[in-house]
Amino acid sequence: MERTLLFSCILWIAISYANSQDNGPQIDFQRILEAGGSQAIDKIQVDSSSTDTFQVMCRVNNVNQLFKITTLKVQYKTSANAQDFTDLALLQNVDGINVDTYRTPVLASGAGSGWTVEGSFDTTSSNGRDSTLGVSRPVSSITCSNAVEYRCNLSYTMPGPDYNSATGMKSKELDVQVLPTTITRNVYNMSSLSGSLQVSLFDTIEPFYVGQTVKMECLANIGSYNGTAQIRWLKSNIVPGSPLAPYFSPDAVLGDPQSTVNCVYQQMDSVTYNMTAQDAGRTAENRLHFQCYVYIPSMNWESPEDDRGNFKFIVYSDADSQPNTGPATAGTSNIGAIIGGVIGGLVAIIIICALIWILLYGRDRLNMCSGGDEYTTKEEQGLVIRMKNRTIVKTVIMLRSLPPGNLEEALKTGHENRGLDEPHESSRHHHRYDNANDGYERNGRKNHAMDRDDDDDYHSRDGSPSFGHSNHMGIDPVHGSIGTGTMKIICVNYGI
């Protein structure tokens, strides 16, 4: 009898407690899937690429003694340490004149950005028991600042005859876990003269050479998994078409997680690699390729392919394999430019020295015609013409030699050399030489060694020879051939 009474008491207490728990508004966290349907959740994993929606929803259909809804509110704490709640959304069933809020869910003024109001007022039942009110936002927009306490706050009227006012509240805390997102890459040439030179990043990184050491860094956003996230590395196989294989570096350096904002952390991991001759033999379809990504063992989660850090290198066997035609990206790519600069400088020095030599010494070698007022003949060395006029130009002309017997006669001291002058009025005879007897004939013409039909082209008005055309020099106009004598040098000093 006593046992039966004790059991009845316990059962009554349990039922009363259950009824008291259900006698009030309910609050639920939902993940609305883009593909359709929803999931009830207590914590949310934030994925920056997700298209799902997070929703906070309040319901009042379990409230006992509900005669009429007065107001229904969704509230939250602005921070984990806040003492009071702030309104997110509200619905009122009192002021029918205010048509904007009467039986209409609206966002509260303190809701902030990113939230959208949800819910509806139940007009099918007399007490609006099936009314709902909620807020939602994209999962991708949730941050650790949203990991706070949310509450449903209901004010209502109980049935008569007293129609007493009552309130009901229910709160729930959201656990936010932010998944890893971006990865920032850095590359350093550890074989540069400075010891460590940061390299510009492109789809392919070049040039690197066999024997050089490269350092790769991945600065990964590991989300809120600062205690379990791992940074892993992959490397391309030497066999084309093979998948990337796990890569472990004995000198890898893993930094400590660093907090960024609220519950989001980032972590650095770096590895080094020495370029090999095998890497230089890779084809364009199978470049030396490294990849870093974040792995969370508890979820068996990996970074999506688009969020991973990729390093693709072009490796050359030596510095002569590929000239560096672009910006320096690997530290030692300036070798070609340095060599080119040195060679260019040497060529410039040689040219300058040659010009100086010509100016200093070449003038003396060509200055065979300065001074004197008589003609000097040295047939074994050439014919030298000297004029007394001030020299402004020196010209050296290679001529076929005249027969030695008559050469002296043709160039006598004290009168004009008609072998190199225009015809005089007093003499219209032709000057010719005869190959048969090597004699020189005064026939009133110029020296045929410099003759052609157009006489004026070779002589100036002042009596000095003009050498504007030289393609007929040394041609025998009578016999039509070039003579067999030695070539003579005639130096003419033009004076003013």
Model confidence at 8, pLDDT cuts 50, 70, 90, reads low
Highest mean pLDDT (candidates 19-33, 51-65, 425-439, 461-475): 51-65
**Distance between CA 367 and CA 348 in Å, rounded?**
28
Give the model's pLDDT for residue 10. 53
Model confidence at 481, pLDDT cuts 50, 70, 90, reads very low
Give the model's pLDDT for residue 84. 94
- Whether the pLDDT of residue 495 is over 70: the answer is no
- Whether the pLDDT of residue 396 is over 80: the answer is no
Q: Beta 376-378 vs 301-302: how paired, if at all?
A: unpaired
Query: Which one has a higher pLDDT value, 36 or 347?
Result: 36
Give the model's pLDDT for residue 448. 43
Over the stretch 32-43, which tens digit does the pLDDT of each residue have?
999 899 999 999
**Distance between CA 131 and CA 301 in Å, rounded?**
39
Q: Which residues contact 185 (CB under 8 A, 6 or more apart)?
A: 201, 216, 217, 218, 219, 292, 309, 310, 311
Query: Which one has a higher pLDDT value, 5 or 246?
Result: 246
Contact 419, 451 (CB under 8 A): no
Q: What are phi and psi of 307, to 5 degrees?
A: -100, 5
Q: Assign residue 309 a region: left if phi > 0, alpha if psi is -120 to 50, beta otherwise?
A: beta
What number does CATH give the domain 20-178? Answer: 2.60.40.10
Q: Beta 116-120 vs 430-434: how paired, if at all?
A: unpaired
- Whether the pLDDT of residue 407 is over 50: the answer is no
Mean pLDDT calculated for residue range 100-107: 93
* 20-178 and 183-331, same CATH topology: yes
Encoded tokens for 53: 């929606």
Give the model's pLDDT for residue 340. 64
State whether the Cα torsion 330-331-334-336 is positive or negative.
negative
**Maximum CA pair distance of the chain?**
174
Model confidence at 426, pLDDT cuts 50, 70, 90, reads very low
- Whether the pLDDT of residue 331 is over 50: the answer is no
Residue 322, Cβ density class (10 Å: 0-12 exposed, 13-18 middle, ≥19 buried):
middle
Give the model's pLDDT for residue 225. 92
Least reliable range by pLDDT among 117-131, 244-258, 392-406: 392-406
Over the stretch 134-181, which tens digit does the pLDDT of each residue have?
999 999 999 888 999 999 999 999 999 999 999 999 999 999 999 999
Closest CA to 464 of 395, 398, 406: 395
Mean pLDDT calculated for residue range 278-298: 94
Please tell me the class of the 183-331 domain. mainly beta
Per-residue three-class SS string for the chain: CHHHHHHHHHHHHHHHHHHHHHCCCEEEEEEECCCCCEEECCEEEECCCCCCEEEEEEECCCCCCCCEEEEEEEEECCCCCCCCCEEEEEEECCCCCCCCCECCCEECCCCCCCCEEEEECCCCCCCCCCCEEEEEEEHHHCCHHHCCEEEEEEEEECCCCCCCEEEEEEEEECEEEECCCCEEEEEEECCCCCCCEEECCCCCEEEEECCCEEEEEEEEEEECCCCCCEEEEEECCCCCCCCCEECCCCCCEECCCEECCCCCEEEEEEEEEECCHHHHCCCHHHCEEEEEEEEECCCCEECCHHHCEEEEEEEECCCCCCCCCCCCCCCCCCHHHHHHHHHHHHHHHHHHHHHHHHHHHHHHHHCCCCCCCCCEEECCCEEECCCCCCEEEEEEEEEECCCHHHHHHHCCCCCCCCCCCCCECCECCEEEEECCCCEEEEEECCCHHHCCCCHHHHECCCCCECCCCCCCCCEECCCCEECCCCEEEEEEEEEC
Per-domain residue ranges of the chain: 20-178, 183-331, 334-366, 376-495
Encoded tokens for 122: 């139940």
Give the model's pLDDT for residue 319. 58
Query: Whole-number mean pLDDT of the chain?
Result: 74
What percentage of residues in the chain have a pLDDT greater than 70? 63
* Neighbouring C-alpha atoms within 13 Å toward the C-beta of 391: 19
Model confidence at 227, pLDDT cuts 50, 70, 90, reads confident
Query: How far is C-alpha 304 from the geometric centre of its chain's CA atoms?
Result: 24
Over the stretch 56-89, which tens digit does the pLDDT of each residue have?
999 998 898 899 999 999 999 998 889 999 999 9
Least reliable range by pLDDT among 17-26, 38-47, 173-182: 17-26
Contact 226, 254 (CB under 8 A): no
Distances (CA, A) of 141 to 10, 194, 227, 288: 48, 44, 23, 37
Query: Which one has a higher pLDDT value, 337 or 101?
Result: 101
- Whether the pLDDT of residue 444 is over 50: the answer is no
Model confidence at 202, pLDDT cuts 50, 70, 90, reads confident
Model confidence at 349, pLDDT cuts 50, 70, 90, reads confident
